[in-house]
């Protein structure tokens, strides 16, 4: 994202009374860098636009090229729940819906905290020769729908291109570490989310690098995946495949997003559920007691670690800490038995 106008889309959605007026929940500041700048709670339009151009809340320059229209103002890091999670969120009773949203929020925070601790770097000195650790600034915006108005819980975490060094000075972010760690952060997000959903009572199963909740209506998932269908149709028409082609197809099929009140959307989604015989009662019936003995839990953890190492060394004799964390997090999310904190603790085994 570039320039102050990039902030408008997110700020305009963040209306206080979003259930009645449309839009989404207000943005929230996150990160030690935000705290150092005195940014807490709700994101305001004025603060966000200032930060995107490289200025702090008091309009002081945080970077050398503050106000330069060509500078990179920040990066949009998006964390999306698996489709089955969004579907049960849309069909669940208010208490379960709130618990799922809280699980998503905690998982996003876990991923952002990992990025800050592992990828928070800045440079200074002649030609940026000195690399230093730095605290980061995120503006989080939780959204609940896709552009096709299907349930789609996701959070846009806008990483501001300004950071706070240990001595209190400020500077731009070193972006390469962020991009190196973003896939690992995503895997930790899903591992934490899977663990929290297990605590609510839902069973999860691994699907390659992600997970899904067991027992969710496949036909309802298909109906509420209109954006995916549009992208697949675009790819098929052009005879293309792969991540790069999918990204282009996503942009080509993107329509202006209509912002309906969530109260109205939940009613619409409820009717979808009725047609597929999958509503709040069916969501509740998915919950099960999932207690494990200490020995069972330890055995699962050992299998997950061994399987991860086996996969990593199948074609290479060595791997990085980042590789291990990412692959173990992917393995952990299948059962949701241990969370992101435990994944990170297992680095030292």
Share of the chain above pLDDT 70, in %: 83
* pLDDT tens figures, 135-184: 999 999 998 988 778 999 999 999 999 999 999 999 999 999 999 999 99
Asked if residue 23 lies in contact with residue 12, where contact means CB atoms within 8 angstroms, the answer is yes
C-alpha dihedral over 82, 85, 91, 95, to 10 degrees?
Answer: -150
Helices assigned H by DSSP within 174-316: 175-200, 218-223, 226-238, 243-252, 262-275, 280-285, 294-312
* pLDDT tens figures, 23-77: 788 889 999 999 999 999 999 889 998 999 999 999 999 998 898 888 888 898 9
Phi/psi for 60 (5° steps) reads: -75, 145
User: How far is C-alpha 145 from the chain's CA centre?
Assistant: 14
Would you place residue 5 in the very low, low, confident or very high pLDDT band (cuts 50, 70, 90)?
Answer: low
309 pLDDT above the threshold of 50: yes
pLDDT value at residue 59: 94
Helices assigned H by DSSP within the chain: 8-13, 18-21, 32-36, 45-52, 83-91, 94-119, 175-200, 218-223, 226-238, 243-252, 262-275, 280-285, 294-312, 321-332, 340-345
Three-state DSSP at 325 gives helix
Which two three-digit tokens encode residue 261? 């009140």
Length of the chain: 349
* pLDDT tens figures, 260-282: 778 888 999 999 999 999 999 99
Enter the pTM of the model. Answer: 0.87
pLDDT value at residue 247: 46
Asked if residue 51 lies in contact with residue 176, where contact means CB atoms within 8 angstroms, the answer is no
228 pLDDT above the threshold of 80: no
pLDDT mean across residues, the chain: 85
Phi/psi for 78 (5° steps) reads: -110, 130
């Amino acid at each position: 994202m570039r320039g102050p106008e990039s902030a408008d889309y997110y700020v305009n959605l963040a209306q206080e009374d979003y259930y009645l007026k449309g839009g989404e929940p207000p943005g929230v500041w996150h990160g030690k860098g935000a705290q150092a700048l005195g940014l807490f709670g709700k994101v305001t339009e004025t603060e966000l636009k200032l930060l995107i151009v490289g200025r702090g809340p008091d309009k002081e320059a945080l970077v050398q090229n503050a106000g330069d229209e060509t500078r990179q103002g920040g990066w949009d890091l998006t964390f999306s729940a698996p489709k089955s999670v969004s579907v049960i969120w849309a069909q669940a009773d208010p208490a379960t819906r709130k618990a799922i949203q809280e699980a998503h929020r905690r998982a996003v925070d876990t991923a952002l905290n990992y990025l800050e601790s592992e990828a928070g770097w800045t440079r200074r000195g002649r030609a940026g020769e000195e690399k230093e650790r730095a605290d980061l600034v995120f503006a989080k915006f939780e959204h609940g729908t896709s552009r096709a108005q299907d349930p789609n819980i996701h959070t846009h975490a806008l990483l501001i291109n300004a950071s706070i060094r240990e001595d209190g000075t400020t500077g731009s972010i070193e972006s390469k570490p962020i991009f190196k760690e973003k896939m690992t952060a995503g895997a930790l997000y899903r591992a934490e989310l899977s663990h929290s959903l297990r605590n609510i009572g839902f069973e999860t199963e691994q699907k390659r690098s992600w997970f899904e909740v067991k027992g969710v209506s496949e036909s309802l998932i298909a109906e509420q995946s209109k954006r995916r269908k549009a992208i697949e149709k675009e790819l098929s028409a052009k005879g293309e495949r792969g991540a790069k082609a999918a990204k282009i197809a996503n942009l080509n099929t993107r329509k202006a997003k209509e912002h309906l009140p969530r109260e109205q959307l939940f009613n619409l989604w409820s009717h979808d559920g009725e047609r597929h015989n999958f509503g709040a009662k069916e969501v509740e019936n998915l919950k099960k007691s999932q207690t494990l003995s200490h020995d069972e839990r330890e055995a699962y953890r050992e299998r997950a670690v061994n399987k991860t190492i086996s996969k990593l060394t199948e074609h290479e004799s060595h791997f990085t800490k980042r590789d291990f964390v990412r692959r173990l997090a992917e393995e952990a999310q299948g059962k949701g038995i241990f969370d992101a904190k435990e994944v990170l603790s297992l680095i030292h085994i």
